[in-house]
Amino acid sequence: MAKQISCSRSRDLDKLLLRSGNLVGPTFDPGTDLRNDLQEYAKVLVVGAGGLGCELLKDLAFSGFKNLEVIDMDRIDVSNLNRQFLFRFHDVGKPKAEVAAERVMERVNGVNIVPHFCRIEDKELDFYNDFSIIALGLDSVEARSYINSVVCSFLEYDADDNPREETIKPMVDGGTEGFKGHARVIMPGITPCFECTIWLFPPQVKFPLCTLAETPRTAAHCIEYAHLIKWDEVHDGKTFDPDDPEHMQWIYSEAVKRAELFGIPGVTYTLTQGVVKNIIPAIASTNAIISAACALETLKIASGCSKTLSNYLTYNGVDGLHTKVTEFEKDKDCLVCGPGILIELDTTISLKKFIDQLEDHPKLLLSRVSVSYRGKNLYMQAPAVLEEMTRSNLDKPLHELMDKCPKDIVHVTGAAGKSGSKQSCLRKLRVVFKVNDGVIDMDVANGA
Protein backbone atom coordinates (compact mmCIF):
# COMPACT_ATOMS: atom_id res chain seq x y z
CA MET A 1 0.00 0.00 0.00
CA ALA A 2 1.46 3.34 -1.02
CA LYS A 3 1.57 5.88 1.73
CA GLN A 4 2.20 9.59 1.51
CA ILE A 5 5.76 10.68 2.23
CA SER A 6 4.69 12.88 5.12
CA CYS A 7 1.91 15.23 5.89
CA SER A 8 4.19 17.46 7.92
CA ARG A 9 5.04 20.98 6.90
CA SER A 10 8.22 19.76 5.24
CA ARG A 11 6.09 17.63 2.87
CA ASP A 12 7.55 19.20 -0.29
CA LEU A 13 11.08 19.93 0.89
CA ASP A 14 11.47 16.38 2.19
CA LYS A 15 11.37 15.02 -1.35
CA LEU A 16 14.53 16.94 -2.08
CA LEU A 17 16.29 16.36 1.22
CA LEU A 18 15.36 12.77 2.03
CA ARG A 19 15.63 11.13 -1.36
CA SER A 20 18.80 10.25 -3.21
CA GLY A 21 19.45 11.51 -6.70
CA ASN A 22 22.08 11.46 -9.41
CA LEU A 23 22.18 15.13 -10.30
CA VAL A 24 23.28 16.31 -6.89
CA GLY A 25 26.26 17.88 -5.13
CA PRO A 26 29.26 15.69 -4.18
CA THR A 27 28.54 15.94 -0.44
CA PHE A 28 24.85 15.15 -0.59
CA ASP A 29 23.82 12.70 2.11
CA PRO A 30 20.03 12.53 2.04
CA GLY A 31 18.02 11.67 5.12
CA THR A 32 16.33 13.09 8.16
CA ASP A 33 19.74 13.89 9.66
CA LEU A 34 20.37 16.29 6.83
CA ARG A 35 17.02 17.97 7.39
CA ASN A 36 17.67 18.25 11.11
CA ASP A 37 21.21 19.54 10.63
CA LEU A 38 19.96 22.30 8.34
CA GLN A 39 17.47 23.30 10.99
CA GLU A 40 19.82 23.06 13.93
CA TYR A 41 23.27 23.98 12.75
CA ALA A 42 23.04 26.02 9.58
CA LYS A 43 23.04 29.74 10.31
CA VAL A 44 22.42 32.18 7.51
CA LEU A 45 22.89 35.93 7.58
CA VAL A 46 20.80 38.06 5.25
CA VAL A 47 22.46 41.39 4.57
CA GLY A 48 19.84 43.99 3.72
CA ALA A 49 16.13 43.91 4.57
CA GLY A 50 14.92 45.76 1.48
CA GLY A 51 13.35 44.42 -1.69
CA LEU A 52 15.66 41.45 -1.91
CA GLY A 53 16.11 40.98 1.83
CA CYS A 54 12.39 40.62 2.57
CA GLU A 55 12.06 37.98 -0.12
CA LEU A 56 15.23 36.22 0.98
CA LEU A 57 14.05 35.90 4.58
CA LYS A 58 10.77 34.37 3.48
CA ASP A 59 12.39 32.06 0.92
CA LEU A 60 15.07 30.87 3.34
CA ALA A 61 12.54 30.31 6.10
CA PHE A 62 10.75 27.94 3.70
CA SER A 63 13.96 26.28 2.56
CA GLY A 64 14.69 24.34 5.72
CA PHE A 65 16.66 26.98 7.65
CA LYS A 66 15.62 27.83 11.18
CA ASN A 67 18.41 30.11 12.28
CA LEU A 68 18.46 33.35 10.37
CA GLU A 69 19.75 36.81 11.15
CA VAL A 70 19.26 40.02 9.21
CA ILE A 71 21.18 43.27 9.26
CA ASP A 72 19.98 46.61 7.86
CA MET A 73 20.47 50.20 8.98
CA ASP A 74 17.44 51.63 7.14
CA ARG A 75 13.99 52.56 8.27
CA ILE A 76 10.84 51.83 6.28
CA ASP A 77 9.80 54.43 3.72
CA VAL A 78 6.49 54.75 1.85
CA SER A 79 8.25 54.13 -1.46
CA ASN A 80 9.28 50.66 -0.22
CA LEU A 81 5.71 49.42 -0.06
CA ASN A 82 5.35 48.56 -3.75
CA ARG A 83 7.70 45.61 -3.30
CA GLN A 84 8.86 45.08 0.30
CA PHE A 85 5.92 42.88 1.11
CA LEU A 86 6.67 42.46 4.81
CA PHE A 87 5.95 46.14 5.49
CA ARG A 88 2.64 48.01 5.83
CA PHE A 89 1.72 51.67 5.96
CA HIS A 90 1.71 51.72 9.74
CA ASP A 91 5.31 50.44 9.75
CA VAL A 92 6.70 53.51 8.00
CA GLY A 93 9.59 54.89 10.04
CA LYS A 94 10.36 51.64 11.87
CA PRO A 95 13.65 49.75 11.38
CA LYS A 96 13.40 47.40 8.40
CA ALA A 97 15.39 44.58 9.97
CA GLU A 98 13.19 44.43 13.04
CA VAL A 99 9.85 44.51 11.25
CA ALA A 100 10.97 42.04 8.59
CA ALA A 101 12.21 39.54 11.18
CA GLU A 102 9.03 39.82 13.21
CA ARG A 103 6.69 39.37 10.22
CA VAL A 104 8.41 36.25 8.95
CA MET A 105 8.52 34.72 12.43
CA GLU A 106 4.80 35.46 12.84
CA ARG A 107 3.91 33.47 9.76
CA VAL A 108 6.52 30.73 9.57
CA ASN A 109 6.36 28.69 12.72
CA GLY A 110 9.65 27.53 14.20
CA VAL A 111 11.96 29.92 12.41
CA ASN A 112 14.07 32.23 14.52
CA ILE A 113 15.29 35.49 13.01
CA VAL A 114 17.59 37.87 14.89
CA PRO A 115 17.46 41.43 13.56
CA HIS A 116 20.38 43.86 13.66
CA PHE A 117 19.41 47.48 13.14
CA CYS A 118 22.84 48.95 12.40
CA ARG A 119 25.45 49.60 9.76
CA ILE A 120 27.33 46.59 8.43
CA GLU A 121 30.60 48.24 9.46
CA ASP A 122 29.42 48.48 13.06
CA LYS A 123 29.73 44.74 13.59
CA GLU A 124 32.92 43.05 14.70
CA LEU A 125 34.50 40.67 12.19
CA ASP A 126 33.67 37.76 14.49
CA PHE A 127 30.00 38.49 14.00
CA TYR A 128 30.26 37.61 10.32
CA ASN A 129 32.45 34.59 10.95
CA ASP A 130 29.67 32.96 12.90
CA PHE A 131 27.48 32.19 9.87
CA SER A 132 27.54 29.19 7.58
CA ILE A 133 26.43 31.21 4.57
CA ILE A 134 25.93 34.91 3.95
CA ALA A 135 23.21 36.05 1.54
CA LEU A 136 23.43 39.58 0.19
CA GLY A 137 20.40 41.61 -0.79
CA LEU A 138 22.05 44.98 -1.32
CA ASP A 139 21.79 47.85 -3.74
CA SER A 140 25.21 49.39 -3.36
CA VAL A 141 28.58 48.42 -4.72
CA GLU A 142 30.34 49.78 -1.62
CA ALA A 143 28.36 47.60 0.79
CA ARG A 144 28.92 44.48 -1.34
CA SER A 145 32.59 45.28 -1.52
CA TYR A 146 32.82 45.65 2.23
CA ILE A 147 31.08 42.37 3.09
CA ASN A 148 33.12 40.65 0.41
CA SER A 149 36.35 41.84 1.96
CA VAL A 150 35.21 40.73 5.40
CA VAL A 151 34.24 37.27 4.19
CA CYS A 152 37.46 36.91 2.19
CA SER A 153 39.48 37.89 5.25
CA PHE A 154 38.39 34.63 6.88
CA LEU A 155 39.92 32.69 4.05
CA GLU A 156 43.23 31.04 4.81
CA TYR A 157 45.67 29.44 2.44
CA ASP A 158 47.88 26.44 3.11
CA ALA A 159 51.61 26.26 2.40
CA ASP A 160 50.92 25.43 -1.25
CA ASP A 161 48.67 28.45 -1.64
CA ASN A 162 45.53 26.35 -1.81
CA PRO A 163 42.54 27.67 0.11
CA ARG A 164 41.80 25.80 3.33
CA GLU A 165 38.34 24.36 2.89
CA GLU A 166 37.18 24.99 6.45
CA THR A 167 37.90 28.72 6.03
CA ILE A 168 35.75 29.16 2.90
CA LYS A 169 32.57 31.00 3.77
CA PRO A 170 30.12 30.88 0.86
CA MET A 171 28.28 34.01 -0.19
CA VAL A 172 25.22 34.34 -2.37
CA ASP A 173 24.62 37.74 -3.89
CA GLY A 174 21.64 39.22 -5.70
CA GLY A 175 21.00 42.55 -7.38
CA THR A 176 18.18 44.08 -9.42
CA GLU A 177 17.37 47.14 -11.46
CA GLY A 178 13.98 47.42 -13.12
CA PHE A 179 13.35 44.27 -15.18
CA LYS A 180 16.96 43.12 -14.85
CA GLY A 181 18.94 41.32 -12.21
CA HIS A 182 21.71 38.95 -11.29
CA ALA A 183 22.31 36.17 -8.79
CA ARG A 184 25.71 34.77 -8.06
CA VAL A 185 27.51 32.31 -5.86
CA ILE A 186 30.85 33.28 -4.37
CA MET A 187 33.08 30.59 -2.88
CA PRO A 188 36.04 32.69 -1.76
CA GLY A 189 39.30 31.23 -3.00
CA ILE A 190 37.53 29.02 -5.52
CA THR A 191 35.17 31.14 -7.58
CA PRO A 192 35.70 34.85 -8.26
CA CYS A 193 34.95 37.14 -5.36
CA PHE A 194 33.11 40.43 -5.81
CA GLU A 195 36.38 42.28 -6.27
CA CYS A 196 37.71 39.83 -8.92
CA THR A 197 34.87 40.92 -11.20
CA ILE A 198 34.42 44.48 -10.00
CA TRP A 199 34.33 45.57 -13.66
CA LEU A 200 30.81 44.15 -13.78
CA PHE A 201 29.80 47.23 -11.79
CA PRO A 202 31.21 50.21 -13.67
CA PRO A 203 31.27 53.43 -11.67
CA GLN A 204 28.44 55.81 -12.28
CA VAL A 205 29.29 58.51 -14.80
CA LYS A 206 29.16 62.00 -13.33
CA PHE A 207 28.59 65.17 -15.33
CA PRO A 208 31.65 67.42 -15.65
CA LEU A 209 31.19 70.53 -13.51
CA CYS A 210 31.98 72.80 -16.47
CA THR A 211 29.04 71.33 -18.37
CA LEU A 212 26.76 72.06 -15.43
CA ALA A 213 28.11 75.58 -15.01
CA GLU A 214 28.57 76.64 -18.61
CA THR A 215 26.88 74.47 -21.20
CA PRO A 216 23.86 72.71 -19.73
CA ARG A 217 21.89 70.78 -22.34
CA THR A 218 19.57 68.41 -20.51
CA ALA A 219 17.11 68.58 -17.66
CA ALA A 220 19.50 66.48 -15.58
CA HIS A 221 22.23 69.09 -16.09
CA CYS A 222 19.95 71.81 -14.73
CA ILE A 223 19.04 69.67 -11.72
CA GLU A 224 22.64 68.81 -10.92
CA TYR A 225 23.57 72.48 -11.26
CA ALA A 226 21.04 73.39 -8.59
CA HIS A 227 22.11 70.43 -6.45
CA LEU A 228 25.89 70.57 -6.72
CA ILE A 229 26.63 74.25 -7.38
CA LYS A 230 23.74 76.58 -6.57
CA TRP A 231 22.86 75.01 -3.23
CA ASP A 232 26.28 75.72 -1.73
CA GLU A 233 26.35 79.23 -3.18
CA VAL A 234 23.08 80.15 -1.54
CA HIS A 235 23.03 78.08 1.66
CA ASP A 236 26.04 79.16 3.61
CA GLY A 237 27.43 75.93 5.01
CA LYS A 238 24.06 74.21 5.38
CA THR A 239 24.28 70.63 4.11
CA PHE A 240 21.74 69.46 1.60
CA ASP A 241 19.47 66.70 2.87
CA PRO A 242 17.87 64.69 0.07
CA ASP A 243 15.23 63.38 2.45
CA ASP A 244 14.02 66.86 3.36
CA PRO A 245 11.11 67.69 1.03
CA GLU A 246 11.77 71.43 1.38
CA HIS A 247 15.34 70.98 0.23
CA MET A 248 14.21 68.90 -2.72
CA GLN A 249 11.55 71.46 -3.62
CA TRP A 250 14.21 74.17 -3.61
CA ILE A 251 16.44 72.18 -5.97
CA TYR A 252 13.48 71.56 -8.22
CA SER A 253 12.47 75.22 -8.50
CA GLU A 254 16.07 76.30 -9.08
CA ALA A 255 16.42 73.67 -11.81
CA VAL A 256 13.22 74.92 -13.43
CA LYS A 257 14.55 78.48 -13.44
CA ARG A 258 17.79 77.40 -15.04
CA ALA A 259 16.02 75.26 -17.62
CA GLU A 260 13.83 78.20 -18.58
CA LEU A 261 16.87 80.42 -18.89
CA PHE A 262 18.49 78.07 -21.38
CA GLY A 263 15.35 76.83 -23.13
CA ILE A 264 15.82 73.26 -21.93
CA PRO A 265 12.69 71.08 -21.60
CA GLY A 266 11.92 68.23 -19.23
CA VAL A 267 12.59 69.25 -15.62
CA THR A 268 10.00 67.60 -13.38
CA TYR A 269 9.87 66.98 -9.65
CA THR A 270 10.06 63.22 -10.17
CA LEU A 271 13.13 63.56 -12.37
CA THR A 272 14.71 65.90 -9.82
CA GLN A 273 14.32 63.29 -7.10
CA GLY A 274 15.58 60.57 -9.42
CA VAL A 275 18.71 62.47 -10.40
CA VAL A 276 19.58 63.85 -6.97
CA LYS A 277 19.01 60.60 -5.07
CA ASN A 278 20.17 58.39 -7.95
CA ILE A 279 16.99 56.37 -7.65
CA ILE A 280 17.10 52.91 -9.16
CA PRO A 281 13.70 51.71 -10.38
CA ALA A 282 12.57 48.61 -8.52
CA ILE A 283 9.62 46.22 -8.70
CA ALA A 284 8.38 43.24 -6.74
CA SER A 285 8.61 40.66 -9.51
CA THR A 286 12.29 41.09 -10.33
CA ASN A 287 13.20 41.04 -6.65
CA ALA A 288 11.17 37.86 -6.25
CA ILE A 289 12.95 36.14 -9.13
CA ILE A 290 16.46 37.06 -8.03
CA SER A 291 15.89 36.34 -4.34
CA ALA A 292 14.37 32.97 -5.16
CA ALA A 293 17.45 32.04 -7.18
CA CYS A 294 19.68 33.15 -4.28
CA ALA A 295 17.67 31.23 -1.69
CA LEU A 296 17.67 28.10 -3.82
CA GLU A 297 21.45 28.31 -4.17
CA THR A 298 21.79 28.81 -0.41
CA LEU A 299 19.80 25.64 0.16
CA LYS A 300 21.89 23.75 -2.39
CA ILE A 301 25.19 24.90 -0.90
CA ALA A 302 24.08 23.98 2.60
CA SER A 303 22.58 20.58 1.73
CA GLY A 304 24.20 19.47 -1.53
CA CYS A 305 20.72 18.47 -2.72
CA SER A 306 21.50 19.61 -6.25
CA LYS A 307 24.32 21.09 -8.27
CA THR A 308 25.13 24.73 -7.61
CA LEU A 309 25.07 27.70 -9.90
CA SER A 310 28.46 28.16 -11.45
CA ASN A 311 28.71 30.99 -10.92
CA TYR A 312 26.81 34.03 -12.26
CA LEU A 313 23.20 34.15 -13.43
CA THR A 314 21.79 37.14 -15.26
CA TYR A 315 18.12 37.75 -15.88
CA ASN A 316 16.73 40.29 -18.33
CA GLY A 317 13.01 40.68 -18.93
CA VAL A 318 13.04 43.90 -20.95
CA ASP A 319 12.90 42.37 -24.41
CA GLY A 320 11.41 38.91 -24.04
CA LEU A 321 12.99 36.76 -21.37
CA HIS A 322 16.68 36.03 -21.20
CA THR A 323 18.55 34.11 -18.55
CA LYS A 324 22.20 33.30 -18.89
CA VAL A 325 24.76 31.54 -16.74
CA THR A 326 28.35 32.70 -17.02
CA GLU A 327 31.29 30.97 -15.41
CA PHE A 328 33.59 33.82 -14.48
CA GLU A 329 37.20 33.14 -13.62
CA LYS A 330 38.91 34.09 -10.40
CA ASP A 331 41.54 36.82 -10.60
CA LYS A 332 44.72 35.14 -9.42
CA ASP A 333 46.17 38.43 -8.25
CA CYS A 334 43.04 39.63 -6.47
CA LEU A 335 43.99 41.65 -3.41
CA VAL A 336 40.88 40.58 -1.57
CA CYS A 337 40.44 36.84 -2.08
CA GLY A 338 44.04 35.95 -2.91
CA PRO A 339 46.52 34.74 -0.31
CA GLY A 340 47.12 38.37 0.74
CA ILE A 341 49.61 41.07 -0.10
CA LEU A 342 53.10 40.05 0.85
CA ILE A 343 54.86 42.59 3.05
CA GLU A 344 58.44 42.07 4.11
CA LEU A 345 59.45 43.79 7.31
CA ASP A 346 62.39 44.14 9.61
CA THR A 347 61.89 42.65 13.04
CA THR A 348 62.52 46.07 14.57
CA ILE A 349 59.81 48.02 12.80
CA SER A 350 57.31 49.63 15.13
CA LEU A 351 53.58 49.31 14.70
CA LYS A 352 53.46 53.04 13.99
CA LYS A 353 55.98 52.79 11.16
CA PHE A 354 54.18 49.76 9.77
CA ILE A 355 50.93 51.74 9.64
CA ASP A 356 52.71 54.62 7.90
CA GLN A 357 54.00 52.22 5.25
CA LEU A 358 50.49 51.13 4.41
CA GLU A 359 49.50 54.69 3.56
CA ASP A 360 52.18 54.78 0.88
CA HIS A 361 51.93 51.19 -0.31
CA PRO A 362 50.89 51.50 -3.98
CA LYS A 363 48.42 48.58 -3.80
CA LEU A 364 46.85 49.73 -0.54
CA LEU A 365 46.92 53.53 -0.09
CA LEU A 366 45.15 53.07 3.22
CA SER A 367 44.47 55.87 5.63
CA ARG A 368 43.09 55.77 9.18
CA VAL A 369 44.44 52.25 9.57
CA SER A 370 43.49 49.87 12.36
CA VAL A 371 45.42 46.62 12.80
CA SER A 372 44.40 43.30 14.24
CA TYR A 373 46.31 40.07 14.61
CA ARG A 374 44.63 36.72 15.28
CA GLY A 375 41.51 38.48 16.55
CA LYS A 376 43.47 40.74 18.88
CA ASN A 377 43.31 44.49 18.35
CA LEU A 378 46.83 45.87 17.99
CA TYR A 379 45.68 49.37 17.20
CA MET A 380 42.16 50.72 16.72
CA GLN A 381 41.30 54.17 15.35
CA ALA A 382 37.87 54.10 16.90
CA PRO A 383 36.02 54.11 19.23
CA ALA A 384 37.99 56.48 21.45
CA VAL A 385 38.15 54.01 24.35
CA LEU A 386 39.78 51.39 22.17
CA GLU A 387 42.11 53.93 20.64
CA GLU A 388 43.31 54.90 24.06
CA MET A 389 43.75 51.30 25.12
CA THR A 390 45.78 50.36 22.07
CA ARG A 391 47.75 53.60 21.63
CA SER A 392 50.66 52.38 23.70
CA ASN A 393 51.26 49.60 21.15
CA LEU A 394 52.22 52.10 18.47
CA ASP A 395 55.81 52.37 19.62
CA LYS A 396 56.28 48.66 20.17
CA PRO A 397 57.87 46.51 17.46
CA LEU A 398 55.26 44.70 15.38
CA HIS A 399 57.37 41.55 15.59
CA GLU A 400 56.89 41.46 19.33
CA LEU A 401 53.19 42.26 19.11
CA MET A 402 52.93 39.22 16.84
CA ASP A 403 54.63 37.05 19.45
CA LYS A 404 57.81 36.93 17.32
CA CYS A 405 56.08 34.81 14.74
CA PRO A 406 58.31 34.78 11.61
CA LYS A 407 55.39 35.09 9.21
CA ASP A 408 51.64 35.36 9.57
CA ILE A 409 48.47 37.02 8.41
CA VAL A 410 47.59 40.49 9.72
CA HIS A 411 44.26 42.16 9.09
CA VAL A 412 44.09 45.88 8.54
CA THR A 413 41.04 48.08 8.10
CA GLY A 414 40.96 51.64 6.92
CA ALA A 415 39.83 53.98 4.20
CA ALA A 416 41.08 53.19 0.72
CA GLY A 417 41.11 55.20 -2.45
CA LYS A 418 41.82 58.77 -3.34
CA SER A 419 40.40 61.65 -1.37
CA GLY A 420 36.77 62.28 -2.19
CA SER A 421 35.88 58.67 -2.99
CA LYS A 422 37.17 56.97 0.11
CA GLN A 423 35.66 53.69 1.10
CA SER A 424 36.07 51.58 4.19
CA CYS A 425 37.77 48.32 3.47
CA LEU A 426 39.50 45.38 5.02
CA ARG A 427 42.74 43.94 3.70
CA LYS A 428 44.63 40.80 4.49
CA LEU A 429 48.41 41.12 4.62
CA ARG A 430 50.99 38.35 4.67
CA VAL A 431 53.65 39.74 6.91
CA VAL A 432 57.09 38.14 6.70
CA PHE A 433 59.97 39.22 8.91
CA LYS A 434 63.41 39.35 7.39
CA VAL A 435 65.99 37.18 9.05
CA ASN A 436 69.01 39.32 9.77
CA ASP A 437 71.74 36.69 9.79
CA GLY A 438 74.13 38.87 11.72
CA VAL A 439 74.02 41.66 9.16
CA ILE A 440 73.87 45.02 10.88
CA ASP A 441 70.40 46.48 10.73
CA MET A 442 70.95 49.88 9.17
CA ASP A 443 67.81 51.37 10.62
CA VAL A 444 68.88 50.55 14.13
CA ALA A 445 72.45 51.62 13.54
CA ASN A 446 71.44 55.00 12.18
CA GLY A 447 68.35 55.61 14.11
CA ALA A 448 69.65 55.29 17.65
CB of 290 to other proteins, least distance (A): 8
Alpha helices in 160-266 (DSSP H): 209-213, 219-225, 231-234, 245-262
Asked if residue 55 binds Zn ion (CB under 5 A), the reply is: no
The nearer residue to other proteins, 295 or 416, going by C-beta atoms, is: 295
336-365 residues near Zn ion, rule: CB under 5 A: 336-337
Q: Is the dihedral of CA 345, 350, 351, 354 positive or negative?
A: negative
Asked if residue 196 binds Zn ion (CB under 5 A), the reply is: yes
Question: In which order are the strands placed within the sheet that holds 133-137?
Answer: 112-116, 67-71, 43-47, 133-137, 171-177, 180-186, 312-316, 322-326
- Neighbouring residues of 124: CB distance < 8 A, sequence distance ≥ 6: none
Query: 72: buried, middle or exposed (CB in 10 Å: 19+, 13-18, 0-12)?
Result: buried
Residue positions annotated with a catalytic role: 210
- Rounded to whole angstroms, the Cα distance separating 283 from 260 reads 34
Residue 159 interacts, among other proteins, Zn ion, none and using kind-specific CB cut-offs from 5 to 8 Å, with none
Asked if residue 173 binds Zn ion (CB under 5 A), the reply is: no
CB of 5 to other proteins, least distance (A): 5
- Neighbouring residues of 285: CB distance < 8 A, sequence distance ≥ 6: none
Asked if residue 185 binds Zn ion (CB under 5 A), the reply is: no
Residue 193 interacts, among other proteins, Zn ion, none and using kind-specific CB cut-offs from 5 to 8 Å, with Zn ion
CB of 31 to other proteins, least distance (A): 14
The nearer residue to Zn ion, 73 or 125, going by C-beta atoms, is: 125
CB of 143 to other proteins, least distance (A): 19
Residue 310 interacts, among other proteins, Zn ion, none and using kind-specific CB cut-offs from 5 to 8 Å, with other proteins
- Neighbouring residues of 1: CB distance < 8 A, sequence distance ≥ 6: none
Out of 24, 186, 193, 296, the only residue in the binding site for Zn ion (CB under 5 A) is 193
The nearer residue to other proteins, 156 or 317, going by C-beta atoms, is: 317
Tell me which residue of 309, 67, 56, 292 sits closest to 186, measured CA to CA: 309
CB of 49 to other proteins, least distance (A): 16
Query: 283: buried, middle or exposed (CB in 10 Å: 19+, 13-18, 0-12)?
Result: middle
Q: Is the dihedral of CA 38, 44, 49, 52 positive or negative?
A: negative
Residue 284 interacts, among other proteins, Zn ion, none and using kind-specific CB cut-offs from 5 to 8 Å, with other proteins
The nearer residue to other proteins, 148 or 291, going by C-beta atoms, is: 291
307-336 residues near Zn ion, rule: CB under 5 A: 334, 336
The nearer residue to other proteins, 14 or 387, going by C-beta atoms, is: 14
Per CB under 5 A, residues contacting Zn ion are 193, 195-196, 334, 336-337
